Structure 1
Amino acid sequence: MKFIESIKNQQVKQWKKLLTKKEREKTQTYLVEGFHLVEEALKDKNNIIEIILSEDIEIPVTWDIQQLSLTKITSEISKAISDTETTQGVFAICKMKQPSFQTLKGKSFLLIDAVQDPGNLGTIIRTADAAGMDAVILGEGTVDLFNPKVLRSAQGSHFHIPVLFGRLEDWIQKFNQNQIPVYGTSLENGVSYKQVEPSSEFALLVGNEGNGVSMDLLSLTKNNLYIPIIGQAESLNVAVAAGILMYYLKV
């Protein structure tokens, strides 16, 4: 076990850099913070490169950290590498993973087109996990999966459900080739979601908070669905809408 006291230590500087997307992509690693997220990461120790613990924090007795690198740090360093106002003093450096279409199991998928709010993306991933979806696919323009706010909102679900990246046009083509129907979401030129029969095989496409799904993508879908607005609200939050549709469509 190492102990680092200086906030100017090169290792500390490297950890702080992981709060930026550029460094995360460069190193293919990211930082998770807090007891819950680290505990979720520990369910598969292959996720973890290193555990970092503030000197005033004790490791829970239920955690198995054998064969993992452990570094103790001062509370000052803990605050410096934290993305929260009040840090819990426990962190893990994790590896980015990128599954491929060929390795995916199951036939229910969620496609995300340019969702930009970190809280929305994290909530959508968490809901997809809860609804039993088989994978989430992030298209271009979507907020970084490993943004600390996304990770906190997802509550560890990105460890449980495959999250992939790529051009959604290509993914839709793959689903069409595999006879998996793709349903877009649109308030215009669509049908009520209740007119579609739930199924074990489908892909659901949701879009940007302000602009929705791009018209180019909507032109490639089997059907475009909408959720009727009964009250006076103009529209539903994308995470709420995604949750309603996933739970309805999935059998």
Structure 2
Amino acid sequence: MLTSVKNEKIKNWRKLKKKKERDLQSQFMIEGFHLIEEAHKSNWAIIEIIYQTGIEVNADWLTYPSYEVSDNVMAALTDTKTPQGIMAVVRKNKCSERQSKRALLVDRIQDPGNLGTMIRTADAAGFDTVILGKGTVDLFNDKVIRSTQGSMFHLHVYEADLNDEIARLQQEGIEVWSTGLDNATYYHKLEVPEKLAIMVGNEGAGVDPEHMKKSTQNVKIPIYGQAESLNVSIAAAILMYEVAKK
């Protein structure tokens, strides 16, 4: 059992809280039984399991290298208010462009909860791909991971230059709808194409105007009350579920 936070193994796990180290090692940490089970069932590689003294580890996970740690060590590793006492180190998947039928493009989203919620919603709405543009919060941020509730392991998620991706998608016959108000049409007045990518933008600035110019269509959502706008994850959900109905 590992009992000291000064242990080199534990020091290395703690380093994974930082994006720079996650990128360097191509690893990240997940926490809780549900996330570990979702990773276990996916094609993502679990490197090792970390469990607190007294926690019963799922028998299916015992094929992975496992480390028992004391209460103080688990407290040093976790960032959650009510930790479940079990974590895992996972290797990053190397994802890149591929053909898709339904994609969500994310432009400079900053809030981890928003990004995680959108990935989870994309999964629920039957989308197959999520493309993260430059300036978007790190996919492997612990708050993003928790907000996805495991959906990040079900979808093809990768980082790319959105200008390049818009051009590629359109060349493949996929329409790109960008959310915004300029030269935009209400989404419910449009015919939903068989292949579609929806692009949403930064919480304050929206989608980059250059991306909007290159989009096939700019769309907007009607506001019936006094609110100036919708939360970006809510707007994305409305559009993705509208597409899911077709």
TM over 0.5: yes
CA contact (8 A) 2:42 2:154 kept: no
CA distance in 2, matches of 1:80, 1:136: 32
Alignment match, 2:69: 73
Instruction: Provide, for residues 103-142 of structure 1, a one-character-per-residue CA deviation record: whole Å limited to 9, x for no partner.
Output: x353111100000000000000000000010100000110
Change (3 A) 1:38 1:123: same
CA displacement at 1:179 relative to structure 2: 1.3
Alignment match, 1:42: 40
CA distance in 2, matches of 1:166, 1:10: 34
Instruction: Provide, for residues 185-214 of structure 1, a one-character-per-residue CA deviation record: whole Å limited to 9, x for no partner.
Output: 002320000121123301110000000001
CA displacement at 1:67 relative to structure 2: 2.5
TM-score by length of 2: 0.96
CA distance in 1, matches of 2:71, 2:40: 23
TM-score by length of 1: 0.94
Instruction: Provide, for residues 132-177 of structure 1, a one-character-per-residue CA deviation record: whole Å limited to 9, x for no partner.
Output: 1010000011000000000111101000011011100000010111
Alignment match, 1:195: 189
CA displacement at 1:66 relative to structure 2: 4.0
CA distance in 2, matches of 1:105, 1:223: 20
Given residue 24 of structure 2, which amino acid in structure 1 is its aligned partner?
K
CA contact (8 A) 2:175 2:193 kept: no
CA distance in 2, matches of 1:82, 1:130: 28
Matched, 1:123 2:117: yes
Instruction: Provide, for residues 34-93 of structure 1, a one-character-per-residue CA deviation record: whole Å limited to 9, x for no partner.
Output: 111111111137520001100121124xx5124311111001100001011232110000
Matched, 1:12 2:6: no
CA contact (8 A) 1:105 1:134 kept: no
Moved more, 168-177 or 64-73: 64-73
Alignment match, 1:31: 29
Matched, 1:176 2:174: no
Secondary structure of 1:205 counterpart:
strand
The unaligned stretches of length 5 or more in structure 1 are none
The unaligned stretches of length 5 or more in structure 2 are none
Q: Write out the 4+ residue segments of structure 1 that deviate beyond 6 Å after TM superposition.
A: none
Among candidates 81, 85, 88, match of residue 85 of structure 1: 81
Counting only pairs closer than 5 Å after superposition, residues 97-116 of structure 1 correspond to structure 2 as 97-101=93-97, 104-116=98-110
Given residue 72 of structure 1, which amino acid in structure 2 is its aligned partner?
E
Secondary structure of 2:167 counterpart:
helix
Alignment match, 1:209: 203
Alignment match, 1:134: 128
CA distance in 2, matches of 1:76, 1:66: 23
RMSD: 1.2
CA distance in 1, matches of 2:171, 2:65: 45
Percent of aligned positions with the same letter in both sequences?
47
CA contact (8 A) 1:57 1:90 kept: yes
Alignment match, 2:217: 223
CA contact (8 A) 1:19 1:83 kept: no
CA contact (8 A) 2:52 2:86 kept: yes
CA contact (8 A) 1:49 1:68 kept: yes
